[in-house]
Structure 1
Amino acid sequence: MRSLAYSALLLVLFTCWTLNSHAAAPFARLADGKIQGLRTAHNTEAFLGIPYAEPPVGYLRWKAPRSPAPWIGTLNATKLPVACPQKGNFFANVPPEKFGTPVGNEDCLYLNVWKPFAAKKRPVVLWIHGGSNFKGTSADPLYDGAWLASSSDVVFVSANYRLGMLGALAHEALNKGSKWDSSGNYVTLDLVAVLKWIHANIESFGGDPDNITIMGQSAGCMNVWGLLQTPLTKDLFHRAVCSAGVPNAYPRWVAETRSEDFIENLVVNAGLVKEKSQAEAYLLAKGTKWIRQFLYSRTTEELVQAQEYIVPFQHFKDDAVFPHGVEGILFGNFHRVPLILGLTTDEATYLLGGALIKPTDKELWSLIQNPPADLKEEDLIKDNKVTLYHSSTAAGSLAMQMTMEEIFWAVKAYNPQTYRYSFEWKETPSPWKEVFGAVHGMDAMFYLGNFETEKPSFARFAWTEQNRQSREALRDSMAPYFKSFFWDGNPNTQLPAQAPVWDGRMVFK
């Protein structure tokens, strides 16, 4: 009897534990199948690594994204997705020993969703990560969506998209199939697919498909401009936030020229010619069919190694995605939705100053994670280059501010619901404050709310106990403006008493 009673008690306890475990794991039913997520910080739930397109591998490499295949059973959506192919770097979420070597996987078209616990219809925010369109991943710890989902009471979505020459190859050898497949604008087509996925599935997370904000920083902002410029996104989103990026849509010949250069690099790296000067004639003799087969035969690592570019050409005029070039902005050829444009005051300390930084990438990463107490400005800037560093980065930052001012007024002429901010918080510890100031990307860390101190990140140097109160106060004062914008398309509708009105411009410091 005692044994039976003990067994019965164990059975009851096991049943209760099972029920509690089941209750702790959130589920959602999507158009393609059921998924299981996990509980996350700030009273949110997360669903990570959800496929929004078929893997762009095999014959789908350099093709427009296809809808994902439905699955049977329950998909485990509890792990962030692997990065798209790139060379290891600060933004790839890889250890420093992999810097400079190919990382990531072509099977990378996945997205993540964070939502508050309580059931309620909420606005949706789509976050588009930066990284010059050659780097980055939605899995970066600074892009965790829990804080913003909670503070702004929204459903937060982040997504991977194809990078580098896998995301933008324009060549006659690939002009087979639909005009979308031949476009070469795969970055934008991937993000259009994300928006379509949101419209088809976001109500399962309590999201409102009639209130979607697209939001990005740096290259993510450039991609926001791409979505503003392409007619493919008409009625797919309703507001936009764009930090530290400019509109861009190049003539197709620019993309074709880079694509030819890229293929020549591949030919040289494969040992088919001895020098790059021989590659053009070699490819001309081989013809487009051979080039197509050659491109599809290259490994992911070979493709990544062959791209040595800094300026991204991920948006270019064609007959499918971008009917207008960048000049279209001047003539109002963009979606006129409520728009926030922003910059930090020291954008160029990262964007232009990198050539004058003394440590290697691996060394700088180590200093960022664990700054020594005696670190000095001259430890970070090359010998005898301190004056040049400060003068050149100050001039570059000013030029970016002036460029943004021109864009702001050009857009505002067509769209009165355009707002601008300047981010000026500079309370990081010395010597980072003197070297980087309000560095490129710092604003995004505040409105996303992630002052990550446990996991390695490119912003680890910035957060100390001494500036905790200041940074949290600024983050909390910024939040109502962004929440108001997400909900109502106006940053002034849900402000606390005494908060200044954001009337066209705002300074955050």
Structure 2
Amino acid sequence: MKNDQMLKIRTAEGLLRGNLEQGVFVFRGIPYAAPPTGHLRWRAPKPVQPWEGERDATLWGNASWQSREYCMAVGGGDPGVFSEDCLYLNVWTPEVDPSRPLPVMVWIHGGGFAIGAGGLAPYVGLPLASRGVVIVTLNYRLGHMGFFAHPALDKEYQDGEVVNNFALLDQMAALQWVQRNISSFGGDSRNVTIFGESSGARSVLSLFASPLSAGLFHKGIAQSAYTLPDIPRETALETGTKLAKHFNLENATAEQLRALPADAFWPLDRSLANGPVAISGDHVLPEPMLSVFNHVRQHKLPLMIGSNSDEASVLSYFGVDPAKVIEQVRQTQHIGLRLKLIRMLYDGVWDDSELGRQVARDMTFTTMGYVAALSQHRNGVPAWRYYFDYVSENARDLYPNGTWHGNEIPYTLNTLDALATQMADRPFTENDRAFAHKVSEYWLNFARDASVFSHQLKGEIVWPAWQPYADNVMRFGEKGEAALKLEKRFMRRRTQLFRLLMKKMVRLRK
């Protein structure tokens, strides 16, 4: 029987007190690393100082500095209090003393590595936790605090040990916390799934590619990961030097950089920032993530990966203008063959703007699923590909081109009810809820059962692991309507072509 005593959990760092909400235990604002402030700014996360007595774990922890207005507009809501002291996580568990340890799912939020927080309404862990898993969400360093390079900071490291991807190290520190403590919350430290969307999905793939993350998790789900190349360290160093000059620090020292106010960075022009990708070439990510997958060097772990039908809805954030994609093709093609080939692959789409929208979607998002699945197959570990094309019944007039970037999240996390206030003008229907339950069951079954030996996932339709010839992709929705079906050789020719072209045509636009 659930009682008040169960609201207290002893972790390796100290005693926590949480809440009981709708039959699920909730612990918020748990510190998983020391505050990365002062001399710890732009350093790997350090251990938490243990505390005496009981720590309140009923309030969200601080979020990293960011644009509140932008996060509320496109990031899922109000991220709460901002601080450089932002390394906190949240746990939802249905049982703290189950008869058998429960699967663990760790959500890494998206937002272009510039906005977001683990406590936003779309990411609430209660709905999935109530179905028999432990859910963890986390905050991590964003923007310049999360990804930064400068020659003065390089001097603090020995050769080959320079760190620039502090956000990725934060995520690893959260996973180390899970390994230390999740058993106290009823979770199985030997069955940890990391999952995320957009830059959260890129984080998942980067953790698959980083040699430092080995053993911290056991499988991953990447929702709408993009093919944009990681930023070379040399470029990040140039950007860091420009940033220092912006603050009148011509020959900046590490001490001067760390003395700059934490809230001075996020409003800066994008030309002075890194992202929305990681930095390649440091100790955390020695090789670009795409190179690791192309050379089949990622961790040998199961992966689910997919994207949405109208990902072009977000490309303006990445500086990609869909209307200019076809113009770019014309400029780079040889004797007109490439554009003719692309038009053949999009039979019946003649308008340059619409063609550009679909090409941009497939080159930047859909192809990432094919690239990752092919690499998984070559690595001898299973992958599952999906394509999300469902639109809530009361909002179909708003999304004529399909599912926008991020709109699948309340279905995969089953958080439609948590968004009731935000969606008051376009309320979710019972059919929407039924579809969310079906979709999220696949996510849960992946977390429960997927292993390196799996050949299929359970669900309303049995979902076989991806194979190159069949190229089975699970469609969640079709033309906005509810549907579950396997589609063979999904966009096969397009993804094969774009896999070859994306190095030349997918670029960041500053």
Structure 1 position 413 matched with structure 2 position 391: no
Find the aligned partners of 2:2 and 2:102 in 1 and give their Cα distance: 27
Match of residue 94 from structure 2? 116
Report the number of matched residues: 433
Structure 1 position 317 matched with structure 2 position 315: no
Structure 1 position 303 matched with structure 2 position 265: yes
Q: How big is the shift at 1:415?
A: 3.8
How do residues 193-204 of structure 1 correspond to structure 2 at under 5 angstroms? 193-204=173-184
How do residues 433-444 of structure 1 correspond to structure 2 at under 5 angstroms? 433-435=398-400, 437-444=402-409
Match of residue 19 from structure 2? 38
Change (3 A) 1:471 1:24: farther
Match of residue 10 from structure 1? none
Equivalent residues of 2:62, 2:83 under 8 A apart: yes
| Cα shift readout 1:392-423 (whole Å, capped 9, x = no counterpart) | 43332233323432333233322440110011
Structure 1 position 482 matched with structure 2 position 461: no
- Structure 2 residue identity aligned to 1:31: A
Change (3 A) 1:352 1:242: same
Which deviates more from structure 2 when the two are superposed, residues 393-402 or residues 121-130?
393-402
- Structure 1 residue identity aligned to 2:415: N
Find the aligned partners of 1:28 and 1:395 in 2 and give their Cα distance: 50
Which deviates more from structure 2 when the two are superposed, residues 468-477 or residues 107-116?
468-477
How do residues 337-486 of structure 1 correspond to structure 2 at under 5 angstroms? 337-352=301-316, 390=354, 392-399=356-363, 400-430=365-395, 432-435=397-400, 437-452=402-417, 457=422, 460=423, 463-464=426-427, 468-486=429-447
Change (3 A) 1:49 1:492: farther
Change (3 A) 1:446 1:78: same
Equivalent residues of 2:112, 2:276 under 8 A apart: no
Find the aligned partners of 1:97 and 1:406 in 2 and give their Cα distance: 32
Match of residue 138 from structure 1? 118
Q: How big is the shift at 1:184?
A: 1.4
Match of residue 149 from structure 1? 129
Runs of 5+ consecutive residues of structure 1 not aligned to the other structure: 1-19, 268-281, 358-386
Which entry has the higher C-alpha Rg, 1 or 2?
1
Find the aligned partners of 1:96 and 1:231 in 2 and give their Cα distance: 32
Match of residue 508 from structure 1? 476
| Cα shift readout 1:406-441 (whole Å, capped 9, x = no counterpart) | 333233322440110011102443565335631111
Q: How big is the shift at 1:499?
A: 3.1
Change (3 A) 1:327 1:356: closer
Change (3 A) 1:170 1:28: same
Find the aligned partners of 2:76 and 2:31 in 1 and give their Cα distance: 28
Find the aligned partners of 1:116 and 1:440 in 2 and give their Cα distance: 30
Question: 1:79 is paired with a residue of what secondary structure?
Answer: coil
Question: 1:112 is paired with a residue of what secondary structure?
Answer: strand
How do residues 38-77 of structure 1 correspond to structure 2 at under 5 angstroms? 38-41=19-22, 43-77=23-57
How do residues 269-288 of structure 1 correspond to structure 2 at under 5 angstroms? 283=250, 287-288=251-252
Match of residue 270 from structure 1? none
| Cα shift readout 1:218-240 (whole Å, capped 9, x = no counterpart) | 00001111111111111111010
Q: How big is the shift at 1:90?
A: 4.3
Find the aligned partners of 1:37 and 1:481 in 2 and give their Cα distance: 29
Match of residue 299 from structure 2? 335
TM-score normalised by L of structure 1? 0.77
How do residues 89-238 of structure 1 correspond to structure 2 at under 5 angstroms? 89-91=69-71, 104-117=82-95, 119-120=97-98, 121-151=101-131, 153-178=132-157, 182-238=162-218
Find the aligned partners of 1:138 and 1:167 in 2 and give their Cα distance: 16
- Over the residues paired in the alignment, what is the CA RMSD in angstroms? 3.3
TM-score normalised by L of structure 2? 0.77
Structure 1 position 26 matched with structure 2 position 4: no
Q: How big is the shift at 1:503?
A: 4.2
Find the aligned partners of 1:95 and 1:456 in 2 and give their Cα distance: 16
Change (3 A) 1:220 1:227: same
Change (3 A) 1:37 1:98: closer
Match of residue 375 from structure 1? none
Q: How big is the shift at 1:456?
A: 5.4
Equivalent residues of 1:130, 1:216 under 8 A apart: yes
Q: How big is the shift at 1:493?
A: 6.9
Q: How big is the shift at 1:24?
A: 7.2
- Structure 1 residue identity aligned to 2:285: F
Match of residue 495 from structure 2? none
Find the aligned partners of 1:495 and 1:317 in 2 and give their Cα distance: 37
Q: How big is the shift at 1:191?
A: 0.8
Among the aligned pairs, what percent are the same residue? 27
Find the aligned partners of 1:356 and 1:260 in 2 and give their Cα distance: 26
Find the aligned partners of 1:93 and 1:139 in 2 and give their Cα distance: 16
Question: 1:293 is paired with a residue of what secondary structure?
Answer: helix
Change (3 A) 1:199 1:488: same
Find the aligned partners of 1:67 and 1:149 in 2 and give their Cα distance: 28
- Give the alignment partner of residue 294 of structure 1, picking from 240, 252, 256: 256
| Cα shift readout 1:151-172 (whole Å, capped 9, x = no counterpart) | 2x11111111100011111111
Structure 1 position 250 matched with structure 2 position 231: yes
Equivalent residues of 2:457, 2:465 under 8 A apart: no
Equivalent residues of 1:145, 1:448 under 8 A apart: yes
Equivalent residues of 2:37, 2:84 under 8 A apart: yes
Find the aligned partners of 1:97 and 1:200 in 2 and give their Cα distance: 31
Runs of 5+ consecutive residues of structure 2 not aligned to the other structure: 322-350, 467-472, 478-510
Question: 1:433 is paired with a residue of what secondary structure?
Answer: coil
